Each structure stands twice: as C-alpha cells, then as structure tokens.
A = this chain, B = another copy of it.
Amino acid sequence: MDQRPSGELSALLTDLYQLTMAACYFDQNMQEEATFSLFIRKYPAQRNYFVAAGLSEVLEYLETLRFTDDDLAYLSSTGLFPTRLLDFLRGLRFTGAVQALPEGSIFFADEPILEVSAPIIEAQLVETFIINAISFQTMIATKASRSVRAAAGRPLVDFSLRRTQGRDAGLKVARASYLAGFLGTSNVLAGKLYGIPIFGTMAHSYITSFPHEIDAFRVFARNFPTITTLLIDTYDNISGVRHAVTVAKEMEARGQRLEFVRLDSGDMAAISQEVRRILDDQGLGYVRILASGNFDEYKIARVLADGARIDAFAVGTKMGVSADAPYFDIAYKLVRYADQPLMKLSTGKVTLVDKKQVWRCFDPQGAMARDTIALRSEAIPGGTPLLQPVMAKGRIIQPLPTND
C-alpha cells in the first residue's frame, strides 16, 4: 500500500491559537525542547481496544511543513502578527523527533500513541493536524476492525464514500478499513492513490433505467463477465434471484460464472436463506451472496446469529463515520518542557508526566497479557516496547516500522 496520502498539507490547517502561542514563545525566546504525548483518555461506549492509524499522513505533514509566501501574506493581512514573526515562520521547518506506534497496532486507553519532542513552537504548532489525523483514522480503523471480527472470516468491502464526512474522509476510510482487514473499497480514487483493490456492483437506478430487470442483468454480465454481481432487490428479491439464475445459466453456457447476487433490503436472514436455497436448487452453489444496507459490527453479528447465509458484506455509512462513536476523547498534552516534567490539574483531567514508553507482556501462548506505561528511561523486564522511533531531526526514519 502506497504510504503517501493525497491533497494539500497546508501549514495553515491549524487553529489560530497555535500561531498566537507561537508568537508569544518567539517573543520570549522560548526555544527549548518540549515533549507532547498523544493518548485517548477513555473508551467510547462498546470499545475496549483501539487500532492505530494515521501515522503516515502525520509524518508526511511534519516532513514537508512550511509556510508559503501566500500563507504569510494571509497572516500578514490579519494585522495580528509582527513582521519578525512572519520572517521566522518563513524559515520554520519541523526539526524534532517522533516516537509512535506503527499503524495497525492494537493499543488501549491512556497509552501514548505518539510522542513529539521538538522546540516548543514546532511541537505546539503541529498539534491540531496530529490530533485530527490520528484521531479520525484510528477511530475508523477501530470500527472497521470490529466489523472484521464480527464477520468471522467473511470478506468485507468499504462502500462508505457517499456518506463520509467530506472527500478526504472518504479516502482515509478506504485506507484505514483496508489496514484493519477489509478486502477493498468501492472508492476508485483510493484504489489509484493507495493501491487498494476496488469493487463495484450496480445501483437500483441502473435496473430501473431498463425496461426489464433481466435486460439490465444481461447487459452487465456481458460487459463484466469476470466481476458480475447482480443486485436483486429492486422489485422483489425472489423474482430478482430467478432472473439472476437465468443469467447465471447463460453465463455458464459462455464458460463464465456469476460471482455474487447482492441483497440490499428486507429481512436479511430469511431472504438470504431463501435465495441460497433457490441458487442451490439450480446447481448454482458457487454463486455467493453479498449483503449491503446499514451494516456494521452489530448488524453483521445479528444477522449471522439469526442464521443468515451471507458470504460477504458491503459495509458503508456506519463504519465510514464510526456512527456510534463519531469522535474520540483524544489529547495532545505537554508532558515535559526545558528538562522539567509537567502536568495539568484541571478538574477531572490528570495527565501522566514526562516522556514515556509502553511495554507489552505476552503470556506463554503468545497472547497479550498486559501493558505497562513506563517512563521512557525505564525498562520493563520481559516486555516488548511498542513506541518506535519514526522521525529524527525532522526526517522520516526509513523504512517505517510495520505491524505485520
């Protein structure tokens, strides 16, 4: 999978307060090293683990961070910033170090996902982007991972693009769900940019634009004989599957095989059983059943428990926006500045101080037994350190560690 995300990574994609704080630090000549730690404070409902994602985009952003002349002209136009600060920003590059969990890592609440150590202006300025990238992509990878587990070995495909929260989200969902074990995506641009396998079927509008359903099926099978999936619920699933049977037999006569029929509405357990029976009665045991329509880990588990005969799931909206937990309580906290460990004491929000490492211990069977959050200077006997150096002096350490 290509590690490069698409699109503009602007230095201005940040909160204004990052720049006002930078101005104050610059004014005070505060240039000492700060360490910020990124962690998720607590589990959303129904979550008990997380899957790390988003690091690749963060590192590309850090390595290429710069203010363009156009950016500086805009900042100047606000009248808020002195020229000497703008001159400083013109030359600013990210020169710090990053330790992080490899993408795809399983981790838990309160464990640092990523720690940035850099001159405080640099380390602070990148907060907004880092939180945005890691939080969202980790949220989607986590939701997708839960769907993969619920499907118990059946393949899943991401169909979420039309309902993701914007264009960038559509790409990131395709990538994060693939990272979490999905087979591929309907998102063609994600296929191109990330090398993810792409999948597609047909819409109800395609069926209704033909005089008869079977005509629509026949034309599709003729044009795409190696990837034919027929959507059978436009008028009625049972008449639809009978038309699909006719087309499957026509394909057989041409030496081709219908790959899937697709269900998209109704009682999935009952319909899939009936469709399976009809296909099997016609000697079409090789034709598989794909189901779509509001699937997530809960609905997948429910229809399988109800006895659904479904071989693959298209998972869309609810995974693509992490509908039951559409944001995470994630924080990027200053834990050390100028060689002093630091903490914040706001009501109910206590932060662990200083640079840290997470050590994972496994039981004799190789299963995760426990994690220990330690100071980075400590070592936990028998444990494996999870945070790895991924950037030094502002440059990505190649090759990036993987979780394979």
- What is the oligomeric copy number? 2
Query: A206 with B21: in contact, given A159-B15, A163-B132, A347-B265 (CB under 8 Å)?
Result: yes
List residues of chain B with CB within 8 A of the CB of A343: 208
Which of A99-107, A220-228, A356-364, A386-394 forms part of the interface with chain B? A220-228
A34 interface residue per 8 A CB criterion: yes
**A166 in complex: contacting residue of B19, B34, B166, CB < 8 Å:** B166
A39 interface residue per 8 A CB criterion: no
When C-beta atoms are compared, the residue in chain B nearest to A233 turns out to be B346
Q: Mark A340-353, 1 if CB is under 8 A from B, else 0.
A: 00111111110000
Query: How large, as a class, is the contact surface on chain A?
Result: 35 or more
**B17 & A186 in contact (Cβ 8 Å cutoff):** yes
**A209 in complex: contacting residue of B34, B219, B224, B317, CB < 8 Å:** B34
When C-beta atoms are compared, the residue in chain B nearest to A5 turns out to be B167
Which of A197-205, A251-259, A302-310 forms part of the interface with chain B? A197-205
Query: A223 with B23: in contact, given A127-B162, A327-B317 (CB under 8 Å)?
Result: yes
A→B interface (CB under 8 Å)? 6-10, 12-21, 23-25, 27-28, 30, 34, 36, 71, 74-75, 78, 80, 120, 124, 127-128, 131-133, 135-136, 159, 161-172, 186-189, 191-192, 198-206, 208-209, 216, 219-220, 222-224, 226-227, 233-235, 264-266, 317-318, 320-323, 326-327, 330, 333-334, 337, 342-349
